[in-house]
């Protein structure tokens, strides 16, 4: 999958991907509703931030995951794969 990227912690990518999939499944109805209505799912976004998924490059002491490019790539791929929220996507949907 990410053969040339180095992760800060062994097993992080698989664990995070599984956690994000479970999170998306748990919040699927609300995510679909927000997408349909062009509404920003603030509570979901806040919870994603608490888990370090909004700021994968941000240091942990500032509320992020403290990762690097590899961690950022995994988070962004999982956000897209599971139709999780991103600010630009939600804003673009709201404008339609």
Q: What is the pLDDT of residues 58-67, one digit of tens each?
A: 888 887 788 8
How many domains does the chain fold into? Answer: 1
On whether residue 3 sits in a domain, the answer given is no
> What pLDDT, on the 0 to 100 scale, is given for residue 14?
94
| Packing angle, helices 28-37 and 12-26, rounded to 10 | 70
Residues belonging to the chain: 96
Judge whether 31 and 41 are in contact, CB under 8 Å: yes
Lowest mean pLDDT among 1-5, 13-17, 36-40, 58-62: 1-5
Would the pLDDT of 26 be above 90?
Answer: yes
Would the pLDDT of 1 be above 70?
Answer: no
On whether residue 7 sits in a domain, the answer given is no
Spatial distance between the Cα atoms of 7 and 60, rounded to a whole number of angstroms = 15
In the structure, what pLDDT confidence band is assigned to residue 17 with cuts at 50, 70 and 90? very high
Domain residues for 62? 12-95
């Amino acid at each position: 999958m990410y053969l040339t990227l180095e992760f800060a912690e062994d097993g992080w990518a698989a664990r995070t991907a599984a956690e994000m999939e479970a999170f998306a499944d748990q919040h699927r109805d609300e995510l679909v509703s927000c997408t349909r209505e062009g509404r920003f799912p603030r509570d979901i976004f806040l919870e994603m931030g608490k888990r370090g998924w909004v700021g994968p490059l941000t240091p942990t002491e500032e509320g992020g995951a403290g990762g690097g490019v590899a961690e950022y790539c995994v988070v962004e791929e999982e956000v897209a794969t599971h139709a999780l929220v991103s600010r630009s996507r939600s804003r673009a949907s709201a404008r339609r």
